[in-house]
């Protein structure tokens, strides 16, 4: 699975959009980009994933560049409850993939009032 | 109606003891996982079972023995506990682990193990 690089921390004002970047320059053609987050003292929570097209769900939007070497998770209207560590993970699908997630250091997002 | 539950939530014990952590999921998933999060907050996969069969064993010391009595349960038994075993242990489940479909993992609330 490809390695990802994220900034260690970011701040965002409550009510504003939070844009969290992730670099994955060694991503291969069959690897997906997943985003999870971990709110303090809780288990990680799935947010969204995508392959090459932009994706949106009730939690967030995922923008993947055309060359797929980077992506951005967008929380459109951040709230204080969105303060968490956000993990960008690249993993493949396919019969040889065991499903394990490899977590990096993630980005600590602090949403401020 | 918790999706993935773990017991106990906190576990404090002495070095050398043997302890177990239990995990149950009511989502009907085929695959379950154990992750360890150390004091530096790194989350690392330990084991995975798919339909009661071990499919991932990430070079964890053999003092750690997972057991899956059925596909809804994955327990973790730890023998001869050491100080370095202190961590938060998370259980997770997903619909399928290794098949060519995307799937998200659902995590439990974690068990904080402290070895004194």
* A18-75 residue pLDDT tens: 999 999 999 988 889 999 999 998 999 999 999 998 999 999 999 999 999 999 999 9
pLDDT at residue B100 greater than cutoff 50: no
**From the CA of B2, how many Å to the nearest CA of chain A?**
13
Residues of B in contact with A44 (CB under 8 A): 43, 90, 92, 105, 107
Burial B73-93 (b: 16+ CB within 10 A, else e): bbbbebeebeeebbbbbbbbb
Decide: A99 and B102 in contact? Cβ < 8 Å. no
pLDDT band at B104 (very low <50, low <70, confident <90, very high): confident
Nearest to A100 among B56, B100, B109 (CB): B56
pLDDT above 90 covers a percentage of chain B that reads 66
- Note if the bond before A21 is cis, omega within 30 degrees: no
Partner residues linked to B81 by β-bridges: none
Decide: B5 and B73 in contact? Cβ < 8 Å. no
**From the CA of A17, how many Å to the nearest CA of chain B?**
24
Q: Given an 8 Å threshold on Cβ–Cβ distance, is A103 in contact with B42?
A: yes
Q: Where are the beta strands (DSSP E) in A1-113?
A: 9-13, 18-23, 31-38, 45-50, 55-56, 61-64, 70-75, 84-92, 107-112
Alpha helices by DSSP H, listed for A43-96, are none
* Three-class DSSP category at A12: strand
């Amino acid at each position: 699975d490809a390695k990802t690089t994220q900034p260690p921390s970011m701040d965002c004002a409550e009510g504003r959009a939070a844009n969290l970047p992730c670099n994955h320059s060694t991503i291969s053609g069959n690897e997906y980009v997943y985003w999870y987050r971990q709110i303090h003292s809780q288990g990680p929570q799935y947010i969204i994933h995508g392959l090459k097209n932009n994706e949106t769900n009730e939690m967030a939007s995922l923008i993947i560049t055309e060359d797929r070497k980077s992506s951005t998770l967008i929380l459109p209207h951040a709230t204080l409850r969105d303060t968490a560590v956000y993990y960008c993970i690249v993993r493949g699908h396919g019969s040889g993939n065991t499903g394990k997630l490899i977590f990096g250091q993630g980005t600590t997002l602090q949403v401020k009032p | 109606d918790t999706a993935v539950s773990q017991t106990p939530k906190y576990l404090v014990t002495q070095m050398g003891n043997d302890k177990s952590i239990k995990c149950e999921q009511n989502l009907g998933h085929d695959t379950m996982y154990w992750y360890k999060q150390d004091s530096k907050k790194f989350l690392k996969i330990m084991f995975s079972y798919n339909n009661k069969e071990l499919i991932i064993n990430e070079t964890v010391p053999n003092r750690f023995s997972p057991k899956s009595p059925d596909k809804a349960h994955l327990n973790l038994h730890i023998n001869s506990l050491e100080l370095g075993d202190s961590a938060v242990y998370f259980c997770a489940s997903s619909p399928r682990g290794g098949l060519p479909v995307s799937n998200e993992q659902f995590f439990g609330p974690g068990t904080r193990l402290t070895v004194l």
